[in-house]
């Protein structure tokens, strides 16, 4: 792998991120989204998520290879210290360690922000994603049966979780996304 830079996502990244995301929407049950969002909606998602959580892209020679972010797990205040994580990698960049680079930066940023638990919601079956999350330290914590319908069948989801904090009592308020410097390279 050439030099891969990780940086915060910006709304102008929406077309490149949509190019990565679209095949997952149209051809797989990995995401339960049924239609590809438009560029304006995707720009708004980047803007609203990154206002509260880290949203990262991985680039190689100016080309975005993948992205990852943390997002609000649930809307009620007691859930503030939990975040749902998401990672997508371009089809031709899979199995190159891009997802691991992204999560390797994302998870510590979430922890520094005060997030105590990271969750991944994975459509079942999706053994590559389960294995990836296990390598990143996640463990299965729950399963919802037949909770989504896509591509002609009912789908289960598995929730995998990873402890990021030490669960102080009471917890400090969740901080804003932290700025970070530097880049990662292979």
Domains in the chain, CATH or no CATH each: 4-163 (3.40.630.30)
Q: What is the pLDDT of residue 33?
A: 95
Q: What is the pLDDT of residue 179?
A: 67
Q: What is the pLDDT of residue 184?
A: 43
Q: What is the pLDDT of residue 185?
A: 40
With b for 16 or more beta-carbon neighbours within 10 A and e for fewer, the 29-60 pattern comes to bbbeeeebbeeeebbebbeebbeebbbbbbbb
Q: What is the pTM of this model?
A: 0.92
The per-residue pLDDT string of the chain (186 residues; one tens digit each, 9 = 90 and over) reads 578 999 999 999 999 999 999 999 999 999 999 999 999 999 999 999 999 999 999 999 999 999 999 999 999 999 999 999 999 999 998 989 999 999 999 999 999 999 999 999 999 999 999 999 999 999 999 999 999 999 999 999 999 999 999 999 999 998 888 765 444 443
The string of DSSP letters for 113-158 reads HT--EEEEEEEES-HHHHHHHHHTT-EEEEEEEEEEEETTEEEEEE
Q: What is the pLDDT of residue 1?
A: 52
Q: What is the pLDDT of residue 95?
A: 87
CB 17 within 8 A of CB 42: yes
């Amino acid at each position: 792998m050439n030099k891969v830079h990780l940086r915060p996502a910006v709304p102008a990244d929406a077309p490149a991120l949509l190019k990565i995301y679209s095949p997952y929407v149209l051809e797989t049950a990995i995401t339960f989204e049924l239609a590809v969002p438009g560029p304006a909606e995707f720009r708004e998602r980047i803007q609203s998520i990154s206002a509260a959580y880290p949203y990262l892209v991985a680039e190689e020679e100016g080309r975005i290879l993948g992205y990852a972010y943390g997002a609000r797990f649930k809307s009620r205040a007691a859930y503030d210290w939990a975040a749902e994580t998401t990672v997508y990698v371009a089809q031709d960049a899979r199995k190159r360690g891009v997802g691991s680079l992204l999560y390797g930066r994302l998870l510590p940023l979430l922890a520094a922000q005060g997030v105590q638990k990271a969750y991944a919601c994975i459509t079942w079956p999706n053994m590559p994603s389960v294995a990836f999350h296990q390598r990143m330290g996640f463990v299965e914590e729950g399963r919802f049966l037949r909770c989504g319908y896509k591509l002609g069948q009912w789908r289960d989801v598995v929730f995998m979780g990873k402890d990021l904090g030490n669960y102080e009592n009471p917890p400090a308020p969740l901080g804003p996304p932290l700025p970070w410097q530097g880049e990662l390279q292979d």
